[in-house]
Amino acid sequence: MSNSKFEELNSIFFPRKTAVIGASPKDNYTYSLLATKMRDNLYFVNPNYGEVLGRKSYASILDIEAPVDYAVIAVPAQFVLGAVSDCIGKGVRGVHIFTSGFSETGLPEGIRLEKKLADLASGKIRIIGPNCMGSYCPKSGLSFNPASTNVEGSIGVITQSGTFAQMFVYAGRTMDMKISKMVSYGNAVDLDCPDFLEYMADDPDTSVIALYIEGIKDGKRLRTALEYAAGKKPLVALKGGVTRAGGRVASSHTGSLAGIGQTWSTMFKQSGVVQVDDVDDLINTAKTMSSSAIPSGNGVSIVTYSGGFAVVQSDMCVKAGLQVPQFSQKAIDELRTFVPAAGTMIGNPLDSWQLFYKYSGEGRLSDVLRIVSGEKQIHSIILQFDVIRFMTLMWGQGAEEKLRAIAEDFLSGCRYARDKAGRLVVITVSLEPYTDNDLERRLSVLLKKMCEEAEFPVFPSLKEAIRTVSCMCRYAATKKIDDKRGLRDGGRATL
């Protein structure tokens, strides 16, 4: 991306002054922006109010004395063209149009209105939208959800759907996901997915890009942008509308032409993009990539508390494209010195259930993790710590102290595996959503936070952990053939 184009988009994420056109005491943009550092450079525009939440409300953006760089437009569709015209007259560089009622309706009047909007803006102002949530940037204070953590991170998110953008916001609270920048771009009357891909590829604050896309107007340009971005940093993508039914819904959602699912999959693969199948995989993989090393191979070990689970877990891993190598005899002999023989399985997966309850003494989970991480054929380790429900039955209110001791021990082993042995380490902490056991719920959240504070990815289920490790391994395989891009360019898939 050229320096001038980068600075043009950067000014949208880092406006000096922002106006909300259609501000009211009830809209989320007003509340969201007042809760961030943007509050000191924020103006409200709504002729129906003299004040909004104690601040002056202007009848028009043209009445604001100071220059304005960026505007959020949240007015009925019939007033959007007038609002954009005023923004052009004010010298605003970029606008985000939250309003729906354009081409996504499929109605002639909505399509005509969007065409008029495009003609009005062409060469005069940049537009995000319409029909979208807009931009989120904790570093500058841009936000669209009052529940946002506004904690700066390194994950860049590009999504055609506003609801997906909201899900990433809530993942910040529930999964400790830290975002650098996010944009929900909707109908893309002006700025489109390739623009934001190129921008985030060059953005120094972004280390990983997560993409949700439904359709595109220029397939060749998208292909070029995907290759450019994936060549610079990890890029994980979820394509909506890969089936006939999904494509129909995508068309009515954002007015997008969805395309053929296999063509998209081929293009992603050839461009070096990791394609995932659902939003959980998109969030989990992006989060893990932002905080963990990429595994050097697809050998995985699961440290678990159940022999029965171990059988099913092996099948799950193989189905996900992973290998479950057996341990060396040396490792087995070492494990046998402290893992009880009765009721366990000293193999891979490793059932060492007694150690999950051992909160003092020698021969604990940390020792297991050190031994397993020394195996050359093991590149990733999944610790399945899903025994809190049993701890509460055994120890009652005394479970918290013992759980803390156990967690501090196994986290030291996890750190060794990650920092010394260079292994990808992920942890599962499950919680039955319908449980009425308040102690179990509280201790599960406590353990999850302890793992997150130690910067380990935490998942609510083994299935999600395995799928994420699989995605990490697919990315590693993609990087290994980066030098062979010329071979992949034959038969390029283009939409």
**Do the Cβ atoms of 210 and 160 come closer than 8 Å?**
no
Q: How far is CA 317 from CA 379, 461, 474, in A?
A: 13, 14, 13
Do 347 and 408 sit in the same domain of this protein? yes
Domain that holds residue 235: 3-289
Q: Is residue 487 part of a domain?
A: no
Mean per-residue pLDDT, 210-228: 94
For 493, other C-beta atoms within 10 Å of its C-beta total 17
Of the chain, the percentage scoring pLDDT greater than 70 comes to 93
Do 279 and 298 sit in the same domain of this protein? no
Q: Is residue 491 part of a domain?
A: no
Residue 111, pLDDT above cutoff 70: yes
Domain count, the chain: 2
Say what the pLDDT of residue 481 is: 54
Do 188 and 201 sit in the same domain of this protein? yes
Do 117 and 173 sit in the same domain of this protein? yes
114 — phi, psi (to 5°)? -65, -35
Of 245, 273, 289, which residue sits at a domain end? 289
Say what the pLDDT of residue 343 is: 77
Do 299 and 176 sit in the same domain of this protein? no
Q: Is residue 336 part of a domain?
A: yes
Say what the pLDDT of residue 342 is: 82
Say what the pLDDT of residue 211 is: 98
pLDDT tens per residue across span 9-24: 999 999 999 999 999 9
Say what the pLDDT of residue 490 is: 41
Do 83 and 223 sit in the same domain of this protein? yes
| CATH code of residue 465 | 3.40.50.261
According to DSSP H, which parts of 374-415 are helical? 388-395, 399-415
Residue 482, pLDDT above cutoff 80: no
Of 223, 257, 289, which residue sits at a domain end? 289
Do 190 and 321 sit in the same domain of this protein? no
Say what the pLDDT of residue 324 is: 97
Name, in order, each residue with C-beta under 8 angstroms of 145's C-beta and a sequence gap of 6 or more: 28, 32, 133, 136, 166, 169
Of 289, 316, 343, which residue sits at a domain end? 289
pLDDT tens per residue across span 35-78: 999 999 999 999 999 999 999 999 999 999 999 999 999 999 99
Residue 256, pLDDT above cutoff 60: no
Residue whose token pair is 């997915």:
193
Question: How would you label 428-442 residue by residue, b for 16+ Cβ within 10 Å and e otherwise?
Answer: bbbbeeeeeeebbbe
Residue 385, pLDDT above cutoff 70: yes
Residue 236, pLDDT above cutoff 90: yes
pLDDT tens per residue across span 154-185: 999 999 999 999 999 999 988 889 999 999 99
Q: How far is CA 439 from CA 385, 399, 403, 434, in A?
A: 16, 9, 12, 13
Residue 244, pLDDT above cutoff 70: no
Do 306 and 394 sit in the same domain of this protein? yes
Q: Is residue 490 part of a domain?
A: no
Residue 487, pLDDT above cutoff 50: no
Q: Is residue 163 part of a domain?
A: yes
Q: Is residue 494 part of a domain?
A: no
Say what the pLDDT of residue 83 is: 98
Do 92 and 16 sit in the same domain of this protein? yes
Say what the pLDDT of residue 106 is: 93
Say what the pLDDT of residue 488 is: 39
pLDDT category of residue 491 using cuts at 50, 70 and 90: very low
Say what the pLDDT of residue 253 is: 47
User: How many secondary structure helices (H) and strands (E) does the chain include?
Assistant: 18, 18
Question: Distance between CA 145 and CA 149 in Å, rounded?
Answer: 9
Do 175 and 297 sit in the same domain of this protein? no
Q: Is residue 188 part of a domain?
A: yes
Say what the pLDDT of residue 241 is: 73
Q: Is residue 71 part of a domain?
A: yes
Residue 489, pLDDT above cutoff 60: no
Do 333 and 277 sit in the same domain of this protein? no
Do 298 and 414 sit in the same domain of this protein? yes
Mean per-residue pLDDT, 241-268: 65
Mean per-residue pLDDT, 207-214: 96
pLDDT tens per residue across span 419-451: 999 999 999 999 888 889 999 999 999 999 999
